Structure formats: C-alpha cells, structure tokens
Structure 1
Amino acid sequence: MAEGLGHGFAAVSDTAVVTYLCDNTYTPGKAISINPLDPQLALPWPAMDDIVLSDKDRTAPTLAQTQALGVLPHYDDLHVTTPAPPPR
C-alpha cells in the first residue's frame, strides 16, 4: 500500500487468498487502525451472517475518534509521487 492509503477486504469464500504490496516494511507503532464497520465510513461490505474481525479491527477506534487523536496523515505531509506517463 502506498503511504497514507487505507485498505480493507472481505473474504466471501472459505478459500480466499489476499495479497497486497506495501511501499515499506511494516512498523507496528506507525500503523493507524480505524474500525472497518464504523457507519461514518459507509463502506459497502457484503452482507454476511458471520462477520469475523481481528481483535485489532474490532477494537479499533472510529474515524471520528481517530481524527480527534490527531494521528491521521495530512496529504501535504505524505511522500506521494505521480508516476510518469508511459512512453509513446
């Protein structure tokens, strides 16, 4: 994942495999978690009878709580680069 982007996934089968790339090595104290079921996010999760969340996700603060903590990155502080257009 690029710096400053959130990610989430829902496995809707018993054999799901999820792979994603990161821009750097995972640093536990640097990661910011937001509860994925926070209604303010209004994420279009599929309807499932047995939603299983990790302890980390289940106990994560809401978006409003995270904003109040002042830990969300500001776009101007991120090291975002725009890829060069492909050669013609």
Structure 2
Amino acid sequence: MRCRVAGLRLRLLNGCNARSLHVAASDKRPFYVIASDGGLLAEPVKLDSLPILPGERFEVMIDTSDGNSFDLVTLPTEQMGMTLPPF
C-alpha cells in the first residue's frame, strides 16, 4: 500500500467460516486498534500483529507518515494443535 496521508484507518473483517487469521504489516509497522465488534475502545491499543477470529471485526489505524509502501499480510496461525500456513 502507498498512502499520501499521515494515517490510514482500516476496517478488518475475517470472513472465513472456520479459520483464524493473524494480520500484520509486511514491514512490521505497528497497528493501533481503535474499535472492535463491541464498539470504540477507551484508548488505542498498539500491536505488531492482530489475530482475528472468524466473523470478528476490528478498526485499526496505521501510521503512514514515512511515505514507504507496505503490504498487509497474514501470518501462520496455530489452530487445534496444527500450524496453518498463511493465505
């Protein structure tokens, strides 16, 4: 992703019916979770990666002020004792 603004607000949804996702930025920049299914959080929560269960939604802010491009990627997840490869 390449952005020309200082911050990017995204709504992330895991639309899988039975698979958890673990989302991160390719350059390891942090996420700031600002809302979840329950609504806005009292204060942003800084994370390097975000596990998302099936049907779960999050709103995140990502600092893009450095002007560098990045990708959103899925990381390997542990589920029922198995490591599942990313999509």
TM-score (norm 1): 0.24
Which one scores higher on RCO, CA 8 angstroms, separation ≥ 6? 2
Please say which structure displays the higher CA radius of gyration: 1
Report the structure, 1 or 2, having the larger helix content. 1
TM-score (norm 2): 0.24
Report the structure, 1 or 2, having the larger strand content. 2
